[in-house]
Amino acid sequence: MSQDLLKSLVWMDYRLAVLFTVILPLILLIWAFAQRSEAIERLLIIYWRVSSLLAITVYLMMGNLPIAFMSGFLARILIPVGLWFWVDLNEEINEISGRPLKLGFTAWRWAVSVYSLLGALFSIPFLQCAISQAAFATPFCQVWQEPPLGFKNWIHAGYKPGFLGFLGIVGLIIYVLYFAYFVVFRLGKQGRSAVEQ
């Protein structure tokens, strides 16, 4: 694959990520609050918790840290799991009578799931960037740095990449600790129910 084509695909991926993982779920969350649709609200709040790994990944990329490739890959796997895992929320959403919110939410849930899984497949060759410092330094891996650095220059122009990477590492540690707590303590107790018992 040529470097120009790869660069175009990377920028397209970041643009799609902003649309599917930030803008649309934010609109749906506001809409769900306005319509008082508790099941959709709860599932979207769970989505934001899970997808925060994508924001952490962007900060790791701004800090030029290879682990960003692994966290981005895992985020793309965890997002569909988080959206479809909860039996009680799935049943409640299925019972909602045909309203535009349910249709929009269902369409987005399928679209972001397909986008995330295809993105995970596409990113498998780039996992070498997380493992090998030599691979990380190649243009093949460094092309992924361009969009986060553009974001840095737009939002965090006065901050050094090392500080932003530090924020990413702190975020990743908190995320891993919360995820471990969920798996070890809450999952066994509440199973696939989103509501604590």
Domain ranges of the chain: 3-190
CA 152 to chain CA mean position, Å:
18
3-state class (DSSP) for residue 132: coil
In the numeric block, the tokens 């660069």 are attached to 7
Structure pTM?
0.90
Judge whether 175 and 56 are in contact, CB under 8 Å: yes
Distance CA 115, CA 126 (A): 17
CA 15 to chain CA mean position, Å:
13
Structure tokens at 155: 């939002």
State the number of CA atoms in the 13 A half-sphere of 131 facing the CB. Answer: 5
Find, among 51, 12, 20, 55, the residue nearest to 144 by Cα.
12
Distance CA 46, CA 124 (A): 26
CB atoms within 10 A of CB 152: 20
Q: What is the pLDDT of residues 124-141, one digit of tens each?
A: 999 999 999 899 999 999
Q: How far is CA 159 from CA 67, 73, 186, in A?
A: 20, 26, 38
Q: What is the pLDDT of residues 141-173, one digit of tens each?
A: 999 999 998 888 888 888 999 999 999 999 999
Looking at residues 55-67, what average pLDDT do you find? 95
Judge whether 69 and 144 are in contact, CB under 8 Å: yes
Q: What is the pLDDT of residues 34-57, one digit of tens each?
A: 999 999 999 999 999 999 999 999
Q: Which residues touch 177 (CB under 8 Å, ≥6 apart)?
A: none
